[in-house]
Structure 1
Amino acid sequence: MEKKTARLTLLIDPHKKRAFEQLCAAQDLTPSQVVRQMIRDYLRDHGVAYETGPDQATREAPGRE
């Protein structure tokens, strides 16, 4: 896990939140773990390279993978 963290706040339908929390619990994961993995996957899928230091995000040139 990253050494420094930042808070991400979002609004979600209460029913989806409850279902998400229940699914995470059934998989023995925290909602934060799942969201962090989704963000890593999203960045990777869109060619965004990053380091865990502040202000380190960069976008890969198209076609470089």
Structure 2
Amino acid sequence: MEDKPARLTVLIDADKKKAFDELCAAQDITASQVVRQLIREYLQKHGVQWVRALQRDTD
């Protein structure tokens, strides 16, 4: 059985979202890629181990 990705919904200020989206576009990276990287770094910083269920080209 293949694990499906989970969805994370985040509410942020509209102006911050616009600035974030524009910065991501300027760096040719998606907002989702940045958020996934931030989560990986946060888990690593706090010594949390996880098993990668899916290998995806977008990571």
Please tell me whether Structure 1 or Structure 2 has the larger radius of gyration of its CA atoms: 1
Q: Tell me how far apart the structure 2 counterparts of residues 36 and 26 of structure 1 sit (CA, whole Å).
A: 18
Q: CA RMSD in A?
A: 1.2
Q: Which has the higher strand share?
A: 1
* Residue correspondence of structure 1 range 48-59 to structure 2 within 5 A: 48-53=48-53
Q: Tell me how far apart the structure 2 counterparts of residues 44 and 27 of structure 1 sit (CA, whole Å).
A: 24
The aligned residue for residue 30 of structure 1 is 30
Relative to the length of structure 1, the TM-score reads: 0.74
For structure 2, the 5+ residue unaligned runs are 54-59
Percent of aligned positions that are identical:
63
Relative to the length of structure 2, the TM-score reads: 0.81
- Could you give the per-residue CA deviations for residues 28-47 of structure 1, whole angstroms, max 9, x where no partner exists? 00000000000000000000
Does residue 21 of the first structure (1) align with residue 52 of the second (2)? no
Aligned residues: 51
The aligned residue for residue 39 of structure 1 is 39
For structure 1, the 5+ residue unaligned runs are 54-65
Shift >6 Å, 4+ stretches: none
Aligned amino acid, residue 26 of structure 2: A
